[in-house]
Amino acid sequence: MDKRLKRILPKVQKPARYTGGEYNQIIKDKADVDLRMAFCFPDTYEIGMSNIGMRILYGVINKMPDVWCERVFAPWGDMREEMVQAGIPLYALESGDPVSDFDVVAFSIGYEMAYTTVLDMLHLSGIPLKSADRPDLVPLVFAGGTSCVNPEPMADFLDLMVIGEGEEVDCEVLELFRRAKLEGWSKREFLVKAAQIQGVYVPSLYEHSYNADGTLASVTALEGAPERVKKRIIEDMDSVYFPTAPIVPSTEIVHDRVNVELFRGCIRGCRFCQAGYVYRPVRAKSPEIVARQGIELLKNTGYQEATLLSLSSSDYRHLSEACDLMLDWCEPRACSLSLPSLRADNFSMDIMQRLQKVRKGGLTFAPEAGSQRLRDAINKNVKEEDLLHSCKVAFQGGWNGVKLYFMLGLPTETDEDVVGISEIANEVLHTWRENAVNKNRGVRITVSTSMFIPKPHSPFQWEAQVPMEEYMRKVELLRDSIKARNVTYNWHDAKTSFIEAVLSRGDRKIGALIEEVWRTGGYLEAWGDYFDYNRWAYAFETCGIDPAFYANRERGKDELLPWDVIDVGVAKRHLWHERERAYASTLSPDCRKQCTGCGAASLLKGGVCDA
Amino acid sequence: MLKLRMRFEKTGRAVYISHLDLMHTFHRVFLRAGYPLKHSEGFNPHPILSIALPLSVGHGSVCEIMDVTLVQDTVDTAQMAVDLNAVLPEGIRVQAPYIPETKASAIKWLRVMGRYEYDGKQAVELIAPLRAFYTCSELPVSRKTKRGEGIIDIAPYVKDVTINADGEDVRLAATVSVNEPTINPELLVKVLQQNDPELAPDFAEFTRLEIFTEKMEVFR
């Protein structure tokens, strides 16, 4: 280990996250590989190691015999400062080698607030931030992840972006890059060829022009790059690679357990939800595969808890079967299963009770809106009686805490809808009083609200976000209407949500803003410890960018949107249709009940979606 | 049910794993090697596993002691060490377990090695003054305890100090008390900083070499 590093590690918080050496890390001989890839996660080790996408891609890329993929995370502030002072560049955990030694530097960007961290990690690696300032073929700097469904804010910095699921396309890009490196192609030659791979977006091959009002006028694809880049998906979830011998961190991480995927996509179509649209179509694993992978994971890691992951676990057709198969193995070994993302409407108490034998903590539901009318408008098909029935069963089963998540600032929302949230909380409290097994233990009902952020590729992509002052007025209104002492109210900070709204629907001009915020110290801004609104306010001034243009402006039906270049499979007219139904407060059926022809099934070879 | 003791080493990158994280790590190691630990009774059962003398983060050791209780009644101890070593993180290695005959509280002395780094000084020139310093009859050092700041004379609790050059660095070895009182090896640096700062290293790294009973027999 580097002598300078040895000196600083004892001084920083949780040094084990900066050393590597964990069980199951992948070590190769660098003399035996053609390509070295630094897989960067623009957040801390604890967050990045909890990310299933990173785990999958780390495994799949390292299966390529000629490539060695290593992990890089963002250092916390204390470590960052020590590294800068000691002159230690950002390094990869497996080999300890500086990122600047690598051929490929790839980022997984899951959320917009990580953008400044991407720049900082490049900077800490001594790599020029802008793609245009890196004329050579090596290093290739690319990214993937959900944020890339609107690639424009980060277009200046990345050589290419991968749209959709990475298991296949990442390997295709790396294989092409390996050839380019061996045959000595120019960077441009490589990028032009890479743009021909489905799912690859090369920002420098698209020219943008703007109207006088600042909206996008045209996007011109150059050198044969496709007019629209079609998302990549994995068609067969049963045969796709899934890591069953993952790295076991030697220090605590956020999700300190194993994860098994149940299915990708979501049948629901909640109109505010980006994930519900960009991960379509629905593709499930068979219960036997789920159980086999889950059991292997537990065996290979020594963890005693497995999470069954998906966007809406109770919509998995074979949930009981998969749980039964796993529990047969788990129960004698004191292992437990957890199911996030259960819906209140088809909440299966049977399953919950089987899963949580010992501890009964809190349950979380997300009704999202305070009235049936507004829930219909956002297509969150949950009825108050379903929610109360689920709570009733839970309280009878011994649970004594419920968390309720809502959004404020949804399209068509009125003050009645806002106050309706406190009425729901009161009803839940009433349900507890009527059904609690042991009232002496008390009850905790927590209401949390966040500020609605319109997202690309969702039916609300055209909406204006409510101004921050209006959100705060709604918060006050709700706070005043909550009277019961057992009900706690938390609200999410408006400023981060406002910035996130600017970034998520940003165009290419936003790149300068991100760079300016990074330059003035922006870093790890998904963390309250580091987010500073003043830095953004200052950068809006310096860059001459009006944030309201991005966050608070309603887009016209025919406006060319910066992310229209990305084809996630769902047709724009379908999104518009859903938006119109929202304003009519009309529900759309879930995909299982009736196909609404969103278009995502066309991504599948057979063209039939397994909703 | 089988109570076992085993010695293990924690070196290299593993020295930065904290005591609590190490307990969790071992718990998972026993499970993946196929040797489940017995759990305590009660509302929040936890695996029965204890590690004597928690090691400071950043310190290495080749003489750690861990006591565990297995669910099973018999075990092939040599095979068990092989199985555990196959699934341990880098830098942690166990020796074959055995049935303990003494209590961990019988540990009294610890042989420790320190590597002192000096910036811009010749290590060889420091050897004589360091030897002289550590043989002083009094080595007072102020340290924080649960009861606040206090001055302790560590001279009676530090013995058999040897000091030699180690390339550009100085290598120290000493035997320190680890039971009433507990002398953290870092006090060996602190005592320099407080009494003769010229001799204090710019960086020091410690490794535990061996643990002993009151009578200076190797603890097992």
CB-CB contact of A422 with A406 (8 Å)? no
State the 10-residue block means of pLDDT for chain A, 611 residues long: 93 97 98 97 98 98 98 98 98 98 98 98 98 98 98 98 98 98 98 98 98 98 98 96 97 96 95 97 96 97 94 90 92 87 63 63 85 96 89 84 95 97 96 90 94 98 98 97 94 96 98 98 96 98 98 97 98 98 96 94 86 80
CATH number for the domain harbouring residue A308: 3.30.750.210
CA distance B138 to chain A (A): 29
Residue type, B188: L
Contacts of A299 in chain B (CB under 8 A): 32
In a domain, A267, yes or no: yes
**DSSP at A368:** E
Q: Do A302 and B203 touch (CB under 8 A)?
A: no
pLDDT tens track for B56-97: 999 999 999 999 999 999 999 999 999 999 999 999 999 999
> What residues are paired with A200 via a beta bridge?
A162
Nearest chain B residue to A302, by CA: B28
CA distance A386 to chain B (A): 33
Instruction: Determine contact: A329 vs chain B, CB below 8 A.
Output: no
Q: Are β-strands B158-166 and B169-177 bridged in parallel, bridged antiparallel, or unpaired?
A: antiparallel
Those of residues 332-361 in A touching chain B at CB distance below 8 A are 333-334
Nearest chain B residue to A249, by CA: B25
Q: What is the per-residue pLDDT for A398?
A: 81
Q: Do A303 and B25 touch (CB under 8 A)?
A: no
Instruction: Determine contact: B46 vs chain A, CB below 8 A.
Output: no
In a domain, A176, yes or no: yes
- On whether both A217 and A241 belong to a single domain, the answer is no
Contacts of B25 in chain A (CB under 8 A): 248, 250
- On whether both A165 and A240 belong to a single domain, the answer is no
CB-CB contact of B52 with B94 (8 Å)? no
Peptide bond before residue A459 is cis, with ω within 30 degrees of 0: no
Nearest to A9 among B12, B27, B58 (CB): B58
Instruction: Determine contact: A300 vs chain B, CB below 8 A.
Output: yes
CA distance A299 to chain B (A): 6
Nearest chain A residue to B71, by CA: A333
- What the block records as the tokens of A284 is 């499930």
In a domain, A481, yes or no: no
Mean pLDDT, chain B, integer: 95
- On whether both A189 and A327 belong to a single domain, the answer is no
Q: Do B39 and A299 touch (CB under 8 A)?
A: no
3-state secondary structure A96-139: CCEHHHCCEEEEECCCHHHHHHHHHHHHHCCCCCCHHHCCCCCC
Contacts of A10 in chain B (CB under 8 A): 57-58
**Chain A interface mutation, best of B16, B31, B84, highest count of A Cβ atoms under 10 Å:** B16
- On whether both A192 and A341 belong to a single domain, the answer is no
Q: What is the per-residue pLDDT for A397?
A: 80
Q: Exposed, middle or buried, B42 (CB in 10 Å: 0-12/13-18/19+)? A: exposed
- On whether both A210 and A263 belong to a single domain, the answer is no
pLDDT tens track for B112-166: 999 999 999 898 999 999 999 999 999 999 988 777 788 999 999 999 999 999 9
A591 is in which domain, residue-wise? 235-359+568-611
In a domain, A411, yes or no: no
In a domain, A102, yes or no: yes
Q: Residue A340: count other Cβ atoms within 10 Å of its Cβ.
A: 14
CB-CB contact of B199 with B3 (8 Å)? no
A305 Cβ contact list (under 8 Å, min separation 6): A257, A258, A335, A336, A337, A338
- On whether both A222 and A175 belong to a single domain, the answer is yes
Domain edge (last residue) among A189, A212, A230: A230
Q: Do B17 and A252 touch (CB under 8 A)?
A: no
CB-CB contact of A134 with A159 (8 Å)? yes
Q: Do A18 and B14 touch (CB under 8 A)?
A: no
pLDDT tens track for B159-196: 999 999 999 999 999 999 999 899 999 999 999 999 99
In a domain, A118, yes or no: yes
Mean pLDDT of the region B29-48: 91
In a domain, A223, yes or no: yes
- What the block records as the tokens of B157 is 């609790």
B32 Cβ contact list (under 8 Å, min separation 6): A299, A300, A301, A302, B87
Contacts of B17 in chain A (CB under 8 A): 16, 250-251
Q: What is the per-residue pLDDT for A360?
A: 57
- On whether both A202 and A305 belong to a single domain, the answer is no
CATH number for the domain harbouring residue A35: 3.40.50.280
Instruction: Determine contact: B36 vs chain A, CB below 8 A.
Output: yes
Q: Do A248 and B17 touch (CB under 8 A)?
A: no
Instruction: Determine contact: B13 vs chain A, CB below 8 A.
Output: yes
3-state secondary structure chain B: CEEEEEEEEECHHHHHCCHHHHHHHHHHHHHHHCCCECECCCCCCCECEEECCCCCCCCEEEEEEEEEEECCCCCCHHHHHHHHHHCCCCCEEECCCECCCCCHHHEEEEEEEEEEECCCCCHHHHHHHHHHHHCCCCCEEEEEECCEEEEEECHHHEEEEEEEEECCEEEEEEEEEECCCECCCHHHHHHHHHHCHHHCCCEEEEEEEEEEECCCCECC
Q: Do A21 and B21 touch (CB under 8 A)?
A: no
Domain edge (last residue) among A210, A230, A250: A230
A230 Cβ contact list (under 8 Å, min separation 6): A163, A198, A199, A567, A569, A603
CA distance A439 to chain B (A): 20
Q: Do B58 and A334 touch (CB under 8 A)?
A: no
Contacts of A300 in chain B (CB under 8 A): 32
- On whether both A195 and A69 belong to a single domain, the answer is yes
CA distance B18 to chain A (A): 8
**Chain A interface mutation, best of B32, B48, B169, B186, highest count of A Cβ atoms under 10 Å:** B32
- On whether both A210 and A308 belong to a single domain, the answer is no
Q: Residue A278: count other Cβ atoms within 10 Å of its Cβ.
A: 23
Instruction: Determine contact: B160 vs chain A, CB below 8 A.
Output: no
CB-CB contact of B109 with B211 (8 Å)? yes
- On whether both A315 and A274 belong to a single domain, the answer is yes
Contacts of A334 in chain B (CB under 8 A): 39
Q: CA–CA separation, A314 vs A317, rounded Å?
A: 8
- What the block records as the tokens of B67 is 């006591």
Q: CA–CA separation, A538 vs A516, rounded Å?
A: 9
Domains of chain B: 2-101 (3.30.70.580), 107-213 (3.30.70)
CA distance A1 to chain B (A): 8
Q: Do A300 and B32 touch (CB under 8 A)?
A: yes
Contacts of B13 in chain A (CB under 8 A): 1, 19-21
Instruction: Determine contact: A16 vs chain B, CB below 8 A.
Output: yes
CA nearest neighbour of A58 among A200, A246, A233: A246
- On whether both A44 and A90 belong to a single domain, the answer is yes
Q: CA–CA separation, A249 vs A45, rounded Å?
A: 9
Instruction: Determine contact: B90 vs chain A, CB below 8 A.
Output: yes
Q: Do B32 and A304 touch (CB under 8 A)?
A: no
Nearest to B18 among A16, A304, A333 (CB): A16
Nearest chain B residue to A301, by CA: B32
Those of residues 104-133 in B touching chain A at CB distance below 8 A are 117
- On whether both A65 and A166 belong to a single domain, the answer is yes
Please give the tally of structural domains in chain A. Answer: 2
Contacts of B89 in chain A (CB under 8 A): 21-23, 248, 250
Q: What is the per-residue pLDDT for A456?
A: 98
Q: Do B13 and A23 touch (CB under 8 A)?
A: no
Q: What is the per-residue pLDDT for A358?
A: 47
Domain edge (last residue) among A230, A258, A287: A230
pLDDT interval class at B43 (50, 70, 90)? confident
Q: How many residue contacts between A and B have a Cβ separation below 8 Å? A: 66
In a domain, A451, yes or no: no
Q: Would the pLDDT of B25 be above 50? A: yes
CA nearest neighbour of B35 among B62, B63, B64, B75: B75
